[in-house]
Structure 1
Amino acid sequence: MQSDVTSYQWKLNSGKISDPILVSKGAPLSRTIAPDQAGENTLQVLGYDDAGNSSLTGYYSFNVKGAELPSGIWHLDNSGSDSTTATAHTLTTGGAATYSALARAGSHTLNLDGTSGYAATSQTVLDTGKSFSVSAWVRLKDASRNYTALSQAGTTASGFQLYYSSAYKAWIFNRHGSDIAGPVITRSISAMPPTLNVWTHLTGVYDAAAGSIQLYVNGRPQGEPVSFTTPWNATGALQVGRLHASAAYSEYFAGQIDEVHVWSRALADSEVIQDAALEDEDATDGTAGSPLMALLGSWNATTAASSPIADESGYGHSMALNGATLAIDPDNPGDPDLGLPSRQVMALNGTSNYASVAGPLTDDTGSFTATAWVRLDSHKLADTSKSYQVQVLGQSGTTQSSWGVWYEQPAGTTQGKWYFGRPNKDATGASWTKAQSEVAQTDTWVRLTLVYDAQQASGDETDTATHGALFLYVDTTQVDGDHGVPFTTPWQGGGQIEVGRARTDGAATRYFPGHVASVRVWAGAMNASQIGDMYADEQ
């Protein structure tokens, strides 16, 4: 250390460099810096004098033991078995709890009625007096009162609670200050209200070393960590779907809970992001590392008997035809003389026709994927004195579509491109972030796939504010780069899913001229390999 040093900066591994830390001239500095990866970590430190001159960079490398595995993993695939290899804690259902096939991952999910249904272990799982983390996928059906996803019981109160609060109209991770009736409660609160009937990933982290709690929604921290300095150990059972307070159980969850994970340590931001990505861990079938998808809606005009078009996903979201019709595919008109059948598709006139599904279906702040088989009719766009923007599919908000995929053709040409875009706000004057294709083919069938990956790093891997990216595929070709187009300001569209039109600056616009064969929507960010395999299966 040099005697004229007045500030320091540090950098860990590939993370961003810290802000300058001021000190008295020549004074030493002590900082607690948590490693962010297993194996070798390298810390770099620089000192500066009053004139801004820097010292030589100091390097310190150290090894970190691999992170401890989860203390409990419950896939809830028609049972409460714990998948951890250490001490297993089986969840036993109670009340009106059942299992449903409409799962976020796997074959089933826990289905709770909001009145008496829950699942619980027979023994304590976490020492809540020490660091711990909990996470779950939840699908809330009602917002009229409090609903608890996870907690662990003490004698009178609970050691923690991950829940929806009707008073705050928000997701909350809290800690009770003591094991008494009416304890002081410390809360980490979500920035936006929950969206009902969509899958959302919640994580709560208590960091004993930092003396703080932190809520994450879909991998994003909600505000800054909140100070909590009175930890205590709740020695009761882990509760899925209810709260223990004032020595009684209440706040039973209404909806579905899936993929419950708990750790006896504080997760790093990068680990929360990884957990929210929900990747396949089965190494026996070649799919390890691929995102686990949940089909939320599937509408096939080629097999529809009538309007509305039935939803084949199991969720029962039928698609209404608003002027749109079921018509013959121009490329497959059939030939009765040769015994060749025609193919049925949805026809849209480009001026007033569209189809709609009551929504939303996805948590737009999390990862989602949608596909559509479309055929754009070029003769409706032949007037080159005009420019055209015509939308295939999107999620409507109040003023803008929260997301959409469309075709755009400037004046003076008969060529255009496909776009997948999202605006930065649900208000007039929104700025749009877009992924765009090469010159689009018209008068032929193409499959458009749009992906919003909420966990994709678009900058510093350790900076959660820089995660989120848009991906667009035409057939199997990904456009605009391997890492997508960064988009880090997602917001939730609260309206319906619309096929054949958009919402822009408060008006219904961009009516699509052409045909649509099928539309599907998933929770999760499908990767290129999955998109290619699905395309091959559809040929």
Structure 2
Amino acid sequence: MRVTRSAAGRRRSRWLVVSSAVVGAMLATPGMAVAATNLPPDQPSIPELKSSGKDCAAGENRPYVRSAPELTAVLRDPEADDQPGAASKVKGEFEAWWQGAGGAEQRLTYTTVVLQQGTSFSWTLPDDIPADTVISWRVRADDGEAVSPWSSDGAGTVCEFVYDKEAPAQPVVSSGDYPDGDAWTDGVGVHGTFHITSPSEDVEFYRYNFLGGPQLTVQASGPDGAADIDYLPRSPGLHGLAVQAFDRAGNGSEPANYQFRVGSGRAPVARWKLADAAGSRTAAAEAGPVARAGAGAAFGGDAPSGTDVASSVRLDGTGHGFVTPDAPVVATDGTFSVGAWVRPAAVDGTRTVVSQDTGRGPAFTLGLRQTDGKPVWSFGFGGTRLTGGAPEAGKWAYVLGRYDARTGKARLYVDGRAVGDEQAATPVAGDGNFQIGRAQGTDGYRDRWQGEIGDVRVYDRVAVQDEIAALAARKAQSLGHWALETAPGGLSAESGGGQPLKLGPGASIFRLDEPCDPLDLDCDPGDWPLADEGHLNLDGVSGYAATEKPVVDTGGSFTVSATVRLADQEPDHPMTALSQGGERGDAFKVRYTPSTYSWELVMSHADEPGAAETVVARIESPDGGQGAGHRIAVVHDDTMNRITLYVDGYAETAGTAEFHDGWTSGGGLQVGRGRTADGWGEYLHGAVDQVRAFSGALTAAEVSALW
């Protein structure tokens, strides 16, 4: 008779197999039972063996560990021998051995406590095991009556590891591009290489970070275990690089700290402000060659507000509408960046802001084209075309394209922000003439620009994000500030002499009748001005204040703000604090909606009754006539097609939404009322103070600084 088991570990028979004759004889004898035979536990499975959490392996794949390791194994004995179907308990027997001094074998053994089968059994080796020596180990399970095969038997394998407790030496960092020391080196937007080596021979990788940047890893390679790191400085000043070397066991060296100084980015290799006098036939160059202007180029054009651009050149879209230096200005098979302020008069077809000839066509083009029947900004280079944004006739934008030869990728920016993703591009050598307002074709120049172009800049380096944002920045301009402290003749003056706010019935200026020191405990005026010496009180029935004409261009970027305090603890109707609209509706309004306990910014899509609206809301409880009120600001960023409602002036308490359908309203700025289906309504019951208006979109920091 012979007991058989499945080699694949299928469910095993725990009972002795005997002949039918013997079974019959046993059953014929009263009180006679069938004897059980114990089967040994399963051979430990190699994938379930670990050396300090690292997989069992031998030879070149053996793991390295930096502390005396914990050997672990999952041991299995699925059924109790005396209780079929029940789980059994086992103990583990570990063996570890190595070649000691003189070649003599050294061996350690360890037996674990008894545990439930199927769980993890472990042995932490002593700290005095030899370092830098191959140590082998194996394990087997013991159920008290029988033992399993060793994990190394048959198809198994011996597990190995090396105990390495010595950290690598401190690495050495050097750079020919950005040497350490006190010397200032170009610069922002210029790639540099840092070479890392280690005196230690067992370095596997280096972990590094540039000051303020993320922790990164680079593998050591080559016979000297060196590595190179690429770095693109994005700001001038003192920069730092910290590097640690790590071996196969994970031991880390002392960090090497390398400091270097980065100068400001190189100035453009070519720049034309295009602010020349009307009638000029040449464009003066801030850098690079003077450019000649075609007969269809007229200097003295408009400039984008809120920028340092003084004026622009207007191109008529004909064959004579161009400006060119009749020379190349940048090597297009290397890194370059090119940008300009532009205002298209037409957005049909394909229109070029700048390009550079190759003799067969343009090496690159920056301008606009059509995608799916709609105009988009475009940067075409090396067989790659990047598109994004939405050009609008009569609307200024800053566009910039760049190619980074180190990464092999191109990118398009519109109004200081990247549109779409970087894309790989194949560089094209363009040693022909630089062009403003046209692109070279097979039969001459084509794709001509119609509209204004200002301040063209060309760099032979990467223009980094911060400087692109600065080039595209448009500083908001103050249009009005109403302190609402007095209203002689029913008119509250604008601080700069602009349009006053005219007070309607139910509106009045609150001021303290007598001076009252806030630190005087006996002083109780009953109310205080929201700011300075007075504020506007509105009765919630007919009270409002308004300018005669529009203050902000609601079709473009604008900002309007005020401090508002609601008089009621439980308002019974929506109340508008600020609005400006047309004949039938409000282009924007900021109101409090009691049903949702929220301030809302409402932007309508057209001056029509029932027009679609985009709403941004922030939840706040009513004031009940108490406290300093809420600081409310609405920002419409037309360049980014985004609206933002700030409550109490901070980005953390702001809500935003995408908005594309701004329209220019013809009505005056309203304080305390808005349009409804029945005409004027939503009168505010409460106090309003410090109303401000700006052309352009204030940043979150600028909004916070208003109060």
TM-score range, shorter chain: 0.5 to 0.7
CA positional deviation for 1:16: 3.5
1:449-508 Cα deviation digits (max 9, x unpaired): 6557899xxxxxxxxxxxx996969xxxx832xxx459898744224356779xxxxx99
Asked if structure 2 preserves the Cα contact closer than 8 Å seen for 1:215 and 1:221, the reply is yes
CA positional deviation for 1:204: 0.8
- Determine whether 1:100 maps to 2:301: yes
1:75-125 Cα deviation digits (max 9, x unpaired): 3335464462x5453452532645333534444233334445333334333
Q: 1:45 to 1:384 in 2, by over 3 A?
A: same
Which residue is 2:683 aligned to? 513
CA positional deviation for 1:166: 0.5
- Determine whether 1:201 maps to 2:395: no
Asked if structure 2 preserves the Cα contact closer than 8 Å seen for 1:158 and 1:234, the reply is no
Which residue is 2:663 aligned to? 496
CA positional deviation for 1:220: 2.0
CA RMSD between the two structures: 5.9
1:403-482 matched pairs, under 5 angstroms? 406-408=590-592, 450=634, 479-480=649-650
Asked if structure 1 preserves the Cα contact closer than 8 Å seen for 2:561 and 2:693, the reply is yes
Computing the radius of gyration from Cα coordinates, the structure with the larger value is: 2
Q: Distance in 2 between matches of 1:454 and 1:62?
A: 41
Q: 1:167 to 1:223 in 2, by over 3 A?
A: closer
Which residue is 1:232 aligned to? 429
Gaps of 5+ in 2: 1-167, 169-199, 483-501, 510-539, 604-611, 672-676
Which residue is 1:89 aligned to? 290
1:289-328 Cα deviation digits (max 9, x unpaired): xx4x579x99x9xxxxxxxxxxxxxxxxxxxxxxxxx985
CA positional deviation for 1:157: 1.0
Q: 1:332 to 1:391 in 2, by over 3 A?
A: closer
Q: Distance in 1 between matches of 2:661 and 2:635?
A: 19
Q: 1:63 to 1:358 in 2, by over 3 A?
A: closer
1:58-457 matched pairs, under 5 angstroms? 58-79=256-277, 81-82=283-284, 84=286, 86-90=287-291, 92-95=293-296, 97=298, 99-101=300-302, 103-104=304-305, 105=307, 106-116=309-319, 117-167=321-371, 169-175=375-381, 177=382, 185-190=383-388, 192-239=389-436, 241-277=437-473, 291=475, 293=476, 328=504, 361-362=555-556, 368-371=557-560, 382=568, 384=570, 386=572, 388=574, 390=576, 392-393=578-579, 406-408=590-592, 450=634
Q: 1:40 to 1:230 in 2, by over 3 A?
A: same
Q: Distance in 1 between matches of 2:236 and 2:466?
A: 12
Q: 1:432 to 1:156 in 2, by over 3 A?
A: same
Q: Distance in 2 between matches of 1:199 and 1:523?
A: 12
Q: Distance in 2 between matches of 1:529 and 1:523?
A: 12
Q: 1:33 to 1:372 in 2, by over 3 A?
A: closer
1:227-283 Cα deviation digits (max 9, x unpaired): 2233303321332x22222241222223332232221222222322232226xxxxx
Q: 1:328 to 1:97 in 2, by over 3 A?
A: same
Q: Which structure exhibits the higher relative contact order, with contacts defined as CA atoms closer than 8 Å and separated by 6 or more residues? A: 1
Asked if structure 2 preserves the Cα contact closer than 8 Å seen for 1:394 and 1:497, the reply is no
CA positional deviation for 1:195: 4.4
Q: Percent sequence identity over matched residues?
A: 20
Q: Tell which deviates more after alignment, 158-167 or 514-523.
A: 514-523
Q: Which letter does structure 1 place at the counterpart of 2:649?
A: V
Which residue is 2:72 aligned to? none
Q: Distance in 1 between matches of 2:444 and 2:243?
A: 53
Asked if structure 2 preserves the Cα contact closer than 8 Å seen for 1:38 and 1:65, the reply is yes
1:199-230 Cα deviation digits (max 9, x unpaired): 22211112222222211122222333222233
Q: Distance in 2 between matches of 1:161 and 1:493?
A: 27
Q: 1:454 to 1:118 in 2, by over 3 A?
A: same
Q: Distance in 1 between matches of 2:576 and 2:376?
A: 36
Q: Which letter does structure 1 place at the counterpart of 2:570?
A: T
Asked if structure 2 preserves the Cα contact closer than 8 Å seen for 1:200 and 1:217, the reply is yes
1:118-165 Cα deviation digits (max 9, x unpaired): 333343332323322111122234433112112123323112111112
How many residue pairs end up in the alignment?
A: 424
Q: 1:230 to 1:521 in 2, by over 3 A?
A: same
Which residue is 2:23 aligned to? none
Q: Which letter does structure 2 place at the counterpart of 1:217?
A: V
TM-score by length of 2: 0.47
Q: 1:526 to 1:193 in 2, by over 3 A?
A: closer
1:20-68 Cα deviation digits (max 9, x unpaired): 5577999654332222233432122355678877654432222334321
TM-score by length of 1: 0.59
